[in-house]
Chain A
Amino acid sequence: MTTFTRGFHGRRRGEDDRLPPGQYLAEDFPVLSAGPTPHVPLDRWEFTIDTEAGQTHRWTWQELTALPYEEPVVDIHCVTSWSKLGTTWRGVSLDVLFEDVESTADYALVYSYGGYTTNLPLDDLMDGKAWIAYRYDGEDLTPSHGGPARLLVPHLYFWKSAKWVHGIRLLTEDWPGFWETAGYHNYGDPWREQRYADD
């Protein structure tokens, strides 16, 4: 296991430095959802990576949670303007899951139980920037926060951190997801305030 901390760089940065433009600090953890909460039994849960060549890599719940995990501490930023600093997670780095995946794709479409999708460049999932997270704040991730497992990609607005994650499809062409087809920004960098399509 690897444990490390992000968001704290030796000296603890001031809260103001860590708040992207247009965001306010939330003390609680608001629950956002575009539909009913899926309840997936762990013995039927699986995570898949589908490559552009048609290969499928699969992990059961037992297989996923047996992999080396990390415990990132990260700031998260919701497009509805709340941010939460120093949130603690446990999850498997996408670098671990992609170790044996052969792909030249540039794009990823993340899909969830319940039908949600979101897209991002594959590079944004690699190099220690993204996890499949299954614990939050020392507890199993609850269904309302996306449990049993969600994508965690904290450098983008939090709608990219798909709750109830089911898999990732690798694509040679970009395929906009649920909010990206309804007026939200295709990339969603909170530091450049990329909220809506034309931002």
Chain B
Amino acid sequence: MQADYLDGNALAGPLAEIFAADVSAAVSRCAACGQTGPVASLRVYDRAPGLVARCPGCEEVVLRLVRSPDSAWLDLRGAVTLRIPLRDGTGPGGQR
């Protein structure tokens, strides 16, 4: 049977509008079950009024994105963290 969802790479374009970094390369931790994995491995339900990205481990919602004509609504309640790879830089603790 054909899957009724896409993989998390489907988030790359819609999230690029908001984040400078490529979020599909980020690692998310599921708030429901703790599973950690790349955003690209989330299951994205796009045949809906918004994008709903679910954890491949427990199927709970990790991220939701609704785009209205003048706003993006991003819900990250289902993610404990997003670890976003960045170039060498300075952390909040000071200079390195």
A, B from the same assembly: yes
Chain A residues proximal to chain B, CB less than 8 Å: 30-37, 79-80, 115, 159, 179, 181-184, 195-197
19 contacts between A and B (CB under 8 A): A30-B47, A31-B47, A32-B48, A33-B4, A33-B45, A33-B47, A34-B48, A35-B45, A35-B52, A35-B54, A35-B61, A36-B54, A80-B49, A115-B61, A182-B50, A182-B64, A182-B73, A184-B50, A196-B69
In the complex, are the beta carbons of A182 and B68 less than 8 A apart? no
A150 to B23 Cα, complex, angstroms? 36
B42 CB to nearest A CB, Å: 12
A36 CB contact (under 8 Å) in B4, B50, B68, B69 = B4
- Give the number of residues in B that approach A within 8 Å (Cβ atoms): 19
Interface centre among B4, B49, B64 (most CB of A within 10 A): B49
Interface centre among A34, A36, A80, A115 (most CB of B within 10 A): A34
A18 to B45 Cα, complex, angstroms? 30
A36 to B48 Cα, complex, angstroms? 12
In the complex, are the beta carbons of B71 and A183 less than 8 A apart? yes
In the complex, are the beta carbons of B4 and A37 less than 8 A apart? yes
Q: Does B66 contact A (CB under 8 A)?
A: yes
The A-B contact count (CB < 8 A) is: 54
In the complex, are the beta carbons of B47 and A179 less than 8 A apart? no
Chain B residues proximal to chain A, CB less than 8 Å: 4-5, 45, 47-50, 52, 54, 59-61, 64, 66, 68-69, 71, 73, 75
In the complex, are the beta carbons of B48 and A183 less than 8 A apart? no
Contact partners of B60 in chain A: CB under 8 A? 115
A101 CB to nearest B CB, Å: 30
Contact partners of B71 in chain A: CB under 8 A? 183, 196
In the complex, are the beta carbons of B52 and A34 less than 8 A apart? yes
Contact partners of B4 in chain A: CB under 8 A? 33, 36-37
In the complex, are the beta carbons of B47 and A195 less than 8 A apart? no
Closest residue of B by beta carbon distance from A36: B59
In the complex, are the beta carbons of B54 and A79 less than 8 A apart? no
User: What are the 10 A-B residue pairs with the smallest beta carbon separation, nearest first?
Assistant: A183-B73, A183-B66, A196-B68, A34-B52, A34-B48, A182-B66, A182-B64, A32-B48, A182-B73, A79-B49
A196 to B45 Cα, complex, angstroms? 20
Contact partners of A183 in chain B: CB under 8 A? 50, 66, 68, 71, 73
A156 CB to nearest B CB, Å: 13
Contact partners of B64 in chain A: CB under 8 A? 182
- 17 extra interchain contacts, Cβ-Cβ under 8 A, other than A32-B47, A179-B49, A195-B68? A30-B47, A31-B47, A33-B4, A34-B49, A35-B52, A35-B61, A36-B4, A36-B5, A37-B4, A79-B49, A159-B49, A179-B66, A182-B64, A183-B50, A183-B66, A184-B50, A196-B68
